[in-house]
Every structure is written in C-alpha cells, then in structure tokens.
Chain A
Amino acid sequence: MGEVGQLVIEIGCEDLPATLQPSLRDAWCYSIKQVLNNVNLSYQSINGWVTPRRLALQINGLAKQCSEQVIELRGPLLNKAFDTKKKATKTGLGFARKCGVSLKALAIIDSPQGKRLHFYQKKPGLETVQLLAGLIEKSIKQMPLIQSMRWGEQTQAFVRPVRWLLALFDKQVIEVTLWGIQAGRVTYGHRFHHPEPIVLRHSNDYRAALKNTRVIVDDASRQKQIFDKMQSLVGDEYQVIIDAPLLQEVTGLVEWPVVLLGHFSPDFLKLPEEVLISVMKYRQRYFPICDKKQVLQASFVLVSNIESRDPQRVISGNQRVMEARLCDAEFFYRRDCKHPLSHHLEQLKNIVFQKKLGTLHDKAVRMEKLAEQLADSLKLDVTVCRDAARLAKADLASEMVKEFPELQGIMGSYYVSHTNEKTKAILKMAIRQHYQPAYADDKLPVSEIACLVSLLDRCDNLIGLFSIGLRPTGDKDPFALRRAAIGVIRILLARQWPLTCHALLDQVCQVWVEQADASEKKHFNAALIDQVWQFLKIRLKQWCQQNRPISIIAAVLACDDSNIVALNARMQALQAFAGTPIFDTVVATNKRIVQILKKNPTSFVHQPWQMEDLVEIAEKQLASHLMQEKPHIEKQIAARNYEKALQHLATFTEPLTNFFDQVMVLSEHPQLRQTRLALLDELHQLFLKIADFSLAMDRAS
C-alpha cells in the first residue's frame, strides 16, 4: 500500500432546496465512486455532506498514485507475423504499431497454437494529483440533477448558482475551474456569524474550521442535534410530534440549528387540530407539541439558523406569523361553517373534474347513484351509503380545502351534520377515509361504507379517464390510476366483496352514459370495460406477486372470471394444491391436452360428443368419469370451494394417464378423432374454470 492522502471538495452554493439536499449528496457520492474506480484509484472511505450553502465530499485514504497498470497483448503467430524469408508481414508490423513499439521490442512466447508475438508492459500508476481536476469535473458532470438552472452569463447549469469552489488534497489545491470559478483553499462560514473567507491549510481542517464558524457540515449530526434539542426543550411532560420528512427538510434549512419554543393563543385550539398541524408543519415548518395524552398544545418548536443576541425577538416574530396564519385559517373555518356541507356540494358545480369530464358535482351525482345500486347487493344501509358517496367530495369547494388542499376529506368530516349521531359518525368516517389508500401500502379505510365510497371513487376515475384515452403511459400517471387500481383490488380483497369487475365497471359505465352527451355515449362500451379490466389485471398480478409464485398467478388469471375475490381464492387453493405430490402429473397432463387442442382447429374441437362414438375402454372410462364428476366440480366452483373442486379434478389423473397411454387421439377416423378432441376440450374447459394448469409450472421446472 502506497502513500495516501485526503481529498476535500466543496461546492459553495446559494441556498440549495432543502428537500433536494439528501439526493444531491448521494448522487455526488455515487458519481465520485464510479469515477475513482474507473481509473483504479483506491480509497478507504467517502463522506458526503450537505448544508443549505454547500455540498461537500471528504475522501479518506485516497492513494497518491493510481495502481500500476499491466498491459498485455496477445500477438499473431510467428508464421503470420513473418513470411518464409523471415521478413515482417503487414500483420506483424501492424501489431507492433498497435503496441507502440518496434517489432524487435516484442517478446515471443509459446502458446498451444505455436510460438507467437507478445506485448507486455508495466505502466507505473499516474500521480493522483494530476488526475484529480479531471475526475472532479467528471464526477460533477455525471451527477443527475433533479432540478437545474442557469444564472448570470453562466452557461453551465447547476441546482442553484455556485459561488465558490474548494478542492484540497491534503495541503495541495487541485486546480480545477467549473462554472467559471477556480477552485482554491477558501471556504466560508455561517452567512451571518462568520461571513469572512476561511483559508484552509490542510483538508483535514475542513470540518473543524466550519464548526468554529458555526456550520455543522455533517447533515446527519445536524439532524441528530435538532432531534435531541427539541426533546430536551419541551421536557418530559410533553412530546414533540416529529415526522421524518419535516425533520429532514428543517435540517436542510439551517447550518447552525438553534431550537426555540413558541406559543400561540389557546383560543385557536378550538380549530380542528389537523388545521393547526397543517399550518405548523406545511406552512411554517414548525413542529407541533402534544402532552402525554396526545392532546395538542398551543405551542410549537421552531428551528432557526442564528444564535441571536435576542432569541425572544426571533420567537415573537415567528409567533406573530403563526397568529396571522391561524387568523386566516379561522376566517376560512368560520365562513365554511356558516353553511351545511350540502351547500358546498352545490359549489362543486364550479369545479371541473377533468376538462372533458364535467364537474365534481357530476361526479358526486354518479357516486351517489352507484352507491345506491351497490349498497343493496353488499347488504349495507342504502341511505347512509348514498349520503356518504354524495357528500364525499363536497369539502373540495370549502374555503379551507382551497387554502389547505392536504385537508381534503378531513374538513368534510368536520362539516358534516346529521340529526342521528350514529349516522353522523359513519358519514364522518366515510368522508374522511375515502381517499385511502392514497399509495400502494397505505392503510385501507376502516369502515365498510368508507371502503365502498373509496372503491366507487376509484372505479369512476378509471372509467372516466380511460374513456377519453388518458390511461397511464410509461412512467407517466398524472391521475394516479395505477394507485387507483391497486386501491380497487385491495378493497375488494380485504372486504371479500364478491363483485365481478365486469359487472361493476358496467354499472359505472351506465351512470357515465346517463350524463354523457349523445356523441360521447358510444365511448362507454364493452371494449372500454375490458380495457380497464385488463389494466386491473396487471395490477392484480403485481399485487399478488408479493406472496405468490408468478406461475400460480398466471395460471389462475387465464380463467375467464373477473371476480377478484374468487380469483384470489383460486390462487390460494392452487398454491396449496401445488404442494401435493399429484400436482406435477396434473400439470403435465394438462400441458398435453393443451398441445393437442392447439394443433387442431377450434371448429373441430368445440363440439358436442356422444358416448356411443367412443370405442376404447380407457376413453370410455374417462368420459364417464367426466360425466360423473362434472356436476360436483361445477357445484363446488359455484360455491367458491376451490379446494374441494381441485380434489375432484385430481381424480382425473388416473383416467387421463390411462387415456394417453392407451388411446391414440388423432385417429385416422375423422368422426372418432373429433369425438376424442371434443371430450378433451370439455375436460379442459372444466379445468379452466379454476386455472390454466398448463401455465402452472411443475415443481421440477
């Protein structure tokens, strides 16, 4: 191991967006690693740090010299390199030229094919210092930027304007120029506490020098410091409500965190607590505080970036802003409360759902109709379902949700009124929770009616947006239809609602048709329903893959059923069945059936057959077994008792094996041949009611 040194690079920026900082840091770490590896430059460790004003890398144990490089090239055989008069041929000269040496300098070695030319060179590794400028530049250019901008006359872009550049390899400055700035040994401390330049003697001084000038460059320790200080500030009796993204964002807003405690008038605690939390977290980046019983307090924690001579001044400034924000919120809340939720529902007429798809009021009408239709079949209270579906979106017209969009659903649950307390509670929950699941692993709504509203909302979106061709493409899914589909699947499965997607989507189409203009009605057809079903099927496949083998899923999804609960039950039964010894044989015989049927025209296959047309014992046995078992199997399938159905199907193994052993399906005699094919087809169709076994991989493969 040769000599090593430490490299520190710092890009001094105007304030980097807090939410982008972690990914920037990681991206640079990644690209520098790649760049170093590419030139065989070894190092011990890399630290990446980020603050609002700097992005920094510290590379420890960086070799001062690249590893030496051995170049070995296999040359042509001697009889190719020289002619019979021992004169060098074109091939021989060409090889020497390629190696950059004269022919005489090449070695001759033995190879299995005979003696040949050989080139061997040991290149001493380049000095790291000579390479670094290029490597630094390359590592920065290779960083993927989520946001990029230009400034002044500068043509090279970055996330925010770059103002200084530091590049030190131990004591030596690396001469690199980027964004028109030449790197040096100068950095800057805290913007207000130490605006003067800091000249570093050695890269090793970097972190400490910054700390002395009130910059904690290491974001992880800055974050920990904020976390610890917040807890100690509020004491044991209270608890700071800390969510990880906010903590990370706040860490990215300060170089020298000073944690302070602010208060607001307790009168505001009359507002819904979600409103208070929204104002604190999303508008002001404050942390709410609650007591041990989870009761929200009229206080907040703020993280400032200055060791103020008068911290009280910082606190009271923030308190004034907080009070003004809460005044605004209270104003909206009072205005909203003047009217019942049904008034806001009317206002939905002014809010467009989608340009070609009418207003949110139209959507509310559709959802109400659907809820009415489905409540009955799901044995839910029709009136409550209707009310919940109709009112679910009403709060989108409220002042509060217009100002705080993240409170959709929540405000509606506060604004709902009903004479019956029990009904009111159900409506509250349905309105609040129907946006769930908001993402793939989000919680499902707790109540049944909330689930119904959520389901209808998603189905309505799918049909509506697909009808105007706005299905997701590639990685673009602006209406979150993939998530909507997953939501539909999860709700149906969790609730075990026995709804056939085709029938459900058809009902949704019908309510769309009622509203559609004459020219648009035609879009809501069977083809649209099938498109949406195919889309759901892909999500279903993905969802099931979490805990089932893909072959089981594929086999079951091949059968003609769009009842997701039933499909899932089939998968479960089939997965269990796959563990039994007979499974492989069932798969193998099914594969054989499918192969035979595939080779013959369907017109020939899908035909009724007569027992008396069969001749061999084995086929007669199979036929009578089929006739005997079929009603039982169909009964079990209708009852969704797939395990039982599979047990019955398993009994075909023996007659089928005998059949294939003893019967020549493709007989010369056309009548006989057709009868046999038709028999196999009927059997195949029966199997298909559970799964296409030919797709279910046997355990051997």
Chain B
Amino acid sequence: MGVHFTFQAIIFALQKFWADRGCIVIQPYDMMMGAGTFHPATFLRAIGPEPWHCVYVQASRRPTDGRYGDSPNRLQHFYQLQVLLKPSPPNIQESYLQSLQTLGIDTQLDDIRFVEDNWESPTLGAWGLGWEVWQNGMEISQFTYFQQVGGLACELVSGEITYGLERIAMYLQQVDSVYDLVWGESERGTIYYSELFKQNEQQASAYNFLQADSTTLKIHFDHFEKESHRLITYSLPIPAYEMVLRASHTFNLLDARAAISVTERQHFILRIRKLAYAVAESYYQSREALNFPLLHPNKTKNTD
C-alpha cells in the first residue's frame, strides 16, 4: 500500500504539483457557487487572448444534491480542485496522469480512461469538449477544452481539469462513505470529514429544502439581476459578475425549494445567461483597454 493520503494532503500534493508546472496558486473565492468553473480565475480569465495558468480549490454548492448527511456519496457542499491551463499545452493529458501518480495512483495497476463527456453551462453561456476520467469505472475528474465562454468564442483555448476531491480521496483511502474520509491528522487525533461537514450537511439540507424563504429569494434574484445590469453600464464587470454569482446561487436555492416551475426555470437560466454575456463582453473590453497586460509579461510591474 502506498502513501496514506489525507484529504488535506491530497490538496497540498495537487497544488504543489501544478505550482511546480507554472500554475499560480489561487485561493477559493469567497462566494457561493455551483462549480469551480464559476471562480473568476476561470470564468473571467478564460476570456480573451491572455495566457493564464492557475490552480485552486473551490467549494461547490449544489443545494438540490443535499441528502441531510444520509447519503454516502451525495453532498450539497463539496470540493473541487480546479486547474486552468490557457493556452492548453500539448502534454496536458500526460501532466494530468503524472499528477495522479503523485497521489500514488499506479497507472500500471488501475484502469484509467478518458471517456467522452462534453460540457455545457447554459447559465454561463459556455461550452467545451472533453472527457470524464475514469479510474476503474469511477469518474474522478472532468477534462474540458473551452470553446466558448460567456457567449464569446475562445481565441486562446483553455484546458480545464477538475478533480473531484472527495471521489479521489474515497478511492485512495478505500472508504465507502464520504464521511469516513480522514481530512487530517493532528496530535489530538484524526479529524474526519464527518466531523467537519456532517452537521453542515444536515442543517444546510434543512435550510435548502425547507427553510429558505422563497418569496424573499425571488426578490433577491430580481435585485441581483438589476444590479448586475446597472454595474455593467458603469463598466464594472467584476462586481457585476459577483452579482451573477449571487443570482445563480439564489436560483439554485429556489430550485431546491421547488419554487420554480419548469417554464420559469428556463426563463431564469436565460436571465442569468444574459448577465453572463454582458459581463464577458465588458470584461474583455476592460482588459483590452489595459492592452491585455498578461500578453507582455515583462511590463506587468505595478507602476500605478
């Protein structure tokens, strides 16, 4: 048996692995979002001609996936480790496989496969082609070449790798329930995933499914939408994007409360997409106005 990887050790190892290969280690965004792709370090940075390589962990919130802490593998709050490589390098698959090897996954022992799985985010107006990566039949990562983001065709194509941290950890630690994962070891003993998140899952599920006040949420949604549009008119795409994140999470909560009919649902998605389009457009212009600083790496010293 190889190294025993705690949850935190997996994060350290992957961050170091990608940092050693030229990625900037970004921190999780301090807002609620449905996937690591929503982090501005991916969504905004994937836009335009500037190169950009980064790695970060992001908590994903999917209110409808809550199971009150009862399911061994479904959570409404979980972690993704996200790598964005723009432009995607020729050895991206090999690098990814090497990263698995640093986690002690032996590619001579396990059956690793890239199975077609194309990705589309209707709310972000984004899509790409790629795979889900299987390890002995289990999906452990998503691999996507972005073709369009925020309605804009990608000039420079980003390769996005998303590791499902809980899945990988469950495999490495050979446990059947996510709650049995060892998050970290300390002198005071072992800290398990259940200690950190079980109560959270129970209470958050109760909030998401039962307590969230859908009337107020709808008002919030309208407000975030209005604010986002307003901020765009002032050429403030970054705060405008934060409004998109809020609107998107509010929509997910309303969805969990079953407060949206299917017709409305489509309408909500289109409203968010409209915001995402406007943000992408405005963000591109703001970078263009700066003459795309990352295209000129030697001149990026902060002079103002």
Contacts and interface: CB of A to CB of B under 8 A. Distances in A.
Interface of A: 14-15, 17-20, 52, 147, 149-154, 160-161, 163, 191-193, 253-254, 284-285, 302, 304-306, 308-310, 313-314, 316-318, 320-322, 324, 327-328, 331, 350-352, 355, 359
B111 A153 contact: no
Contacts of B110: 306, 308, 313-314, 317
Given A147-B129, A151-B145, A253 B109 contact: no
B90 A163 contact: yes
B93 A14 contact: yes
A150 B116 contact: no
29 contacts: A149-B128, A149-B129, A150-B145, A150-B157, A151-B88, A151-B145, A161-B88, A191-B97, A192-B107, A253-B113, A284-B137, A302-B137, A306-B108, A308-B109, A308-B110, A313-B110, A313-B136, A314-B136, A317-B110, A317-B135, A317-B136, A317-B138, A318-B136, A318-B138, A321-B137, A324-B176, A350-B258, A350-B261, A359-B262
Given A149-B147, A153-B87, A317-B137, A350 B114 contact: no
B108 A152 contact: no
A321 B145 CA distance: 27
Interface string B77-117: 00000000001111001000100000000011111111110
Given A149-B147, A254-B113, 11 more contacts: A15-B113, A15-B115, A153-B156, A161-B145, A313-B109, A313-B110, A317-B138, A318-B136, A321-B137, A327-B72, A355-B263
B171 interface: yes
A598 to B, nearest CB: 52
Nearest to A310: B109
B73 interface: yes
A161 B89 CA distance: 10
A324 B108 CA distance: 25
Contact of B108 (A17, A154, A309, A322): A309
Given A308-B111, A314-B110, A318-B136, A152 B261 contact: no
Contacts of B233: none
Contacts of B72: 324, 327
Contact of A321 (B107, B112, B136): B136
B159 interface: yes
B138 A320 contact: yes
Nearest to A154: B157
B154 interface: yes
Contact of A152 (B113, B115, B157): B157
A327 B110 CA distance: 24
A321 B138 contact: yes
Contacts of A284: 137
A309 B88 contact: no
B75 to A, nearest CB: 13
Contact of B147 (A150, A163, A308, A321): A150
Interface residues of B, number: 40
Nearest to B94: A195
B137 A151 contact: no
A52 B114 contact: yes
B284 interface: no
A472 B53 CA distance: 46
Contacts of A160: 129
A152 B176 contact: no
Nearest to A254: B113
Contacts of A20: 116
A314 B111 contact: yes
Nearest to B159: A151
A333 B108 CA distance: 38
Given A317-B110, A324-B73, A149 B116 contact: no
Nearest to A17: B116
A352 B135 contact: no
What are the 4 A-B residue pairs with the smallest beta carbon separation, nearest first? A317-B136, A17-B116, A15-B114, A318-B137
A315 to B, nearest CB: 8
Chain A contact residues: helix, strand, loop or mixed: loop
B111 A306 contact: yes
Contacts of A328: 74
Nearest to B133: A15
Contacts of A313: 109-110, 136
B262 A152 contact: no
Contacts of B27: none
A14 B161 CA distance: 15
A635 B114 CA distance: 70
B90 A15 contact: no
A678 to B, nearest CB: 58
Contact of B261 (A15, A154, A193, A352): A352
A150 B156 CA distance: 9
Contacts of B147: 149-150
A359 B261 CA distance: 10
Nearest to A331: B71
B6 to A, nearest CB: 20
Contacts of A355: 263, 266
Nearest to A160: B129
B56 interface: no
A352 B266 CA distance: 10
Contacts of A147: 129
Contacts of A253: 113, 115
Contacts of B97: 191
Interface in B222-257: none
A18 B115 CA distance: 8
Nearest to A19: B116
A566 B118 CA distance: 49
A285 B90 CA distance: 29
Contacts of B258: 350
B173 to A, nearest CB: 13
A285 B117 CA distance: 14
A304 B111 contact: yes
B112, B135, B136, B138: residue with the most chain A Cβ atoms closer than 10 Å: B136
A302 B262 CA distance: 38
A284 B97 CA distance: 22
A305 B113 contact: yes
B111 A151 contact: no
A205 B175 CA distance: 47
Contacts of A52: 114
A193 B108 CA distance: 7
A313 B105 CA distance: 12
B283 interface: no
B131 interface: yes
B262 to A, nearest CB: 4
Given A14-B93, A355-B263, A322 B114 contact: no
Given A15-B131, A150-B147, A352-B262, A317 B171 contact: yes
Interface in B31-74: 71-74
A352 B262 CA distance: 6
A101 B72 CA distance: 85
B266 to A, nearest CB: 7
Nearest to A284: B137
A309 B109 contact: yes
A73 B22 CA distance: 66
Nearest to A152: B87
B138 A352 contact: no
Q: Which of B115, B137, B156 has the most CB of A within 10 A?
A: B137
A538 B171 CA distance: 57
Interface in B137-166: 137-138, 145, 147, 154, 156-157, 159
Contacts of A322: 137
A15 B263 contact: no
Nearest to B74: A328
